[in-house]
Amino acid sequence: MKKIITVLTVLITTVSFAQNKNARASLEVDGVCLMCKTRIEKASLNTKGVKSAVWNVKTHELKLIFDERKTDLKTIQNSIVAVGHDTKELKATDEAYASVHPCCKYRDREIVDDHKEGEEHKDGDGHKH
């Protein structure tokens, strides 16, 4: 009996330490501009357990640091789709998508193209080309 209790204690201890309080992950999140960046990062950071969220406008990569004891990627993604942004795995509802600013309509090819046209190359001294 003592052996069984010891084995159970070791298993329970192992399971509780298996969760990382500084887990790192990245997600693909749709968006087109700095307003999207703010909305995506804010939704992520408002999820309990998320310590860092940085979304890249050009690559659409959201880099996260979070406490696995308090949240998981599915919960974070649910927070993101709730504010109107699709992830690779989850799609925002039409209602949530409709709530984003008109310039943030990443599902509209014309708006996405407009954002791409607005990107101008700058040389080393800051002049636009």
> Cα separations (Å) of 26 from 22, 55, 60, 86, 92?
13, 9, 10, 14, 18
Q: Tell me, which fold does domain 20-112 have in CATH?
A: Alpha-Beta Plaits (3.30.70)
- 3-state DSSP percent of the chain in helix, strand and coil, to 5: 45, 15, 40
Question: Which burial class, exposed, middle or buried, applies to 17 when counting CB atoms under 10 A from its CB (0-12, 13-18, 19+)?
Answer: exposed
Count of C-beta atoms within a 10 Å radius of residue 64: 22
Count of C-beta atoms within a 10 Å radius of residue 89: 11
Instruction: Tell me the per-residue pLDDT of 78-128, one tens digit each, with 9 for 90 and over.
Output: 999 999 999 999 999 999 999 999 999 999 999 999 888 765 433 343 433
Domain boundaries along the sequence of the chain: 20-112
Quote the pTM value: 0.77
